[in-house]
Structure formats: structure tokens, C-alpha cells
A and B are shown apart, each in its own frame.
Chain A
Amino acid sequence: MQIIINSKPVTVATNCTISELIAHLNLNIKRIAIEYNREILAPEQFYTTIMNDNDCIEIVNFVGGG
């Protein structure tokens, strides 16, 4: 199925969870925040949220700033 990550289409396995997506993208689960269809997820929800076709995911992390 296809989902949108940070405005770009990405193909992932059907019934993929958010935590599986994070692992697939090789991201550090402790250093990111995720919006799932505009709702911010608590870290424990990463394991229970199963994605659907056309879901919208925003993944952010910290960068330098003043």
C-alpha cells in the first residue's frame, strides 16, 4: 500500500505499524515525533497504530536553531 511521509509517497507493507515503519526507515524512535493523519502520537501508540492506504505521516526531529 502507499502512504504519504512528509508529503512524499512511500510504499510500505500492508498492515505495517508505525514502529515497523520507524525501524524500516532506520530512525531512532526516541528522537522523533510523529503526526498520524494530523494527530500527534504518544510513543506507546507507535506499536499499536496500524497504517492504512493513503495515510499521512509527518516525522520530525531536532535540528540546530536559536
Chain B
Amino acid sequence: MDELIIAGRSFRSRLMVGTGKFASNAQMAATIAASGGEIVTVALRRVNVGDQQDDLLNHIDRNKYLLLPNTSGARNAEEAIRLARLARAAGCEPWIKLEVTPDPYYLLPDPIETLKAAEILVKEGFIVLPYINADPVLAKHLQEVGVATVMPLGAPIGSNKGLKTRDSIAIIIEQAIVPVVVDAGLGAPSHAAEAMELGADAVMINTAMAVAGNPVMMAAAFGKAVEAGRQAYLAGLGKEQKQAVASSPLTGFLRDE
């Protein structure tokens, strides 16, 4: 069976799903279910002591889904490490989606701080899944310090622009010794399929589902696209040709040549 294996743990689905920006927790839960995803990301924030909201975790069955906390909001390695430790203290398994994004406009990940944090968190026993720009050299350095995956961006977070970093991601995939998860910027199921056809091991989607006219239906569409793209990759795509190559013999009975 074709399974995704991260840090020794196997998953049937190659689609990771985020839980941000949904209209309600019920809608979020229905969307995750429709996606078929098994890895679900969450963020950590200060409790609003005076005004407590409906707890997100009431809607996520943790026997069914792996909760993957992120370090969103961290602007440097120190803040990311603090968030990772807090997530573990809050009862999560020691899996962490490492995000260090000092720039509020493009939310691009800081490669130096990410590498620093990854090295320390791996030593502390965390299973580290770093969000990175599509930089093959950085991906290598991260693998050397022991990360469990690399998660290069297709385009800036929430931009829905698609696989703008395609050529660099192809190099990361070619050289990777851990699963490559394309994260961020994928706005349509066709983008997800494209990443999977390219040989990505998984994709991560949040905004494209959450802001869709019908998030549940969009999640199902992404689920199919990821499966289709994976199957196409395994089947082996034909090579691009410069000129036409006829599908049927051109010589025949119409003319004597």
C-alpha cells in the first residue's frame, strides 16, 4: 500500500489540513472529514480569560487525527522554541510545524532562524516539520540536523497563487531523504495535483478550503486531486516533446507516398 511515512508513523492520506479562518468549528470539522486528511495543524494563542470561545479541540477527534501544532507568530528561533515547548506542555505529541516568519507582509520564513530552531528542537526530541522557502540548499541543511520533513512553500501563505516555486521544489524533491510537503500558497485542487505529479510526498492546505464558497465540497475536491496527482506520479508521466507526435500512424490509404 502507498503510505506516507513521517518519522516512522504511516498515514493513508497525503493531504494535511489547517484549521484557521473557518466560519465555525463545525464547518472546520466537516471540512477536515471531507478532505480525508489525517494530519491537522493548529496554532497556540493566549487564552482570552474574560471571554472564552468554543474550544477548537472539542471538534477534533485526537484518536483519528494527528494534531500538528505550529509555531506561527514566532519571529525568531527563541520564540519558535518557546511555542514548541508550550505546545508539548499542553498535551500534544512532540510534533511541531516549525514556522519563523519575521516579515508580516509576505510571511516568508526566516531560513537562518528556522535552521537554528530546528537543530535545538530535534535535540530536545521534537519531530520537526519546518516551513521553508523553496531553497534546496536550506532543505539539505535542515535534513542534516534531523528534521522529519521539509515543507517548502508554493507561494506566500494564503495567497492562493499556486506552485510558483515549481522548479526549486523539483530540486528539493530530487535531493530529499525525508518527505517533501508542499505548504502554503496552493489555491486550487489543480495546484495540489501539480505538486503531487511533480513527486511531492504530500501537500498542506488551509486557506483554499476555508475561504471557498463551499469548504466541505472544496476539501473533497482537494482530496481527489491529491490522490490523482499521486497516482499519476507513480504511473510515470510521459516526457514533454517539442513537436507533435502522432497518436496514430500518419501513413495510410489516403495517398500513396
Contacts and interface: CB of A to CB of B under 8 A. Distances in A.
Interface in B81-122: 85-87, 89-91
B89 to A, nearest CB: 4
Interface in B55-94: 55-57, 67, 69-70, 72, 85-87, 89-91
Contacts of A61: 44-45, 47, 55, 90
Nearest to B72: A65
Contacts of A8: 49
B41 interface: yes
Interface residues of B, number: 34
Contacts of B49: 5-6, 8, 10, 25, 59
Contacts of A65: 18-20, 41-43, 70, 72, 206
Contacts of A5: 49
A52 to B, nearest CB: 19
Given A6-B49, A26-B52, A31-B57, A62 B86 contact: no
B157 interface: yes
A30 to B, nearest CB: 6
Main secondary structure, interface of B, reads mixed
Contact of A35 (B70, B72, B86, B87): B86
A28 B54 CA distance: 12
Contact of B90 (A6, A25, A26, A62): A62
Nearest to A35: B86
What's the interface size class on A, roughly? 20 to 34
Interface in B112-142: none
A13 interface: no
Contacts of B67: 62
B56 A66 contact: no
Contacts of A34: 89
A20 interface: no
Given A26-B52, A31-B55, A31-B57, A63 B89 contact: no
B46 A66 contact: no
**Chain B CB within 10 Å — which of A31, A34, A62, A65 has the most?**
A65
A30 B206 CA distance: 26
Given A8-B49, A27-B47, A64 B86 contact: no
Which 4 pairs, one residue from A and one from B, show the smallest C-beta to C-beta distance? Answer: A65-B43, A66-B18, A66-B206, A33-B90
11 contacts: A27-B47, A30-B91, A40-B85, A40-B89, A41-B89, A62-B69, A64-B21, A65-B19, A66-B21, A66-B43, A66-B72
Interface of B: 18-22, 28, 41-47, 49, 52, 55-57, 67, 69-70, 72, 85-87, 89-91, 157-158, 184, 204, 206-207
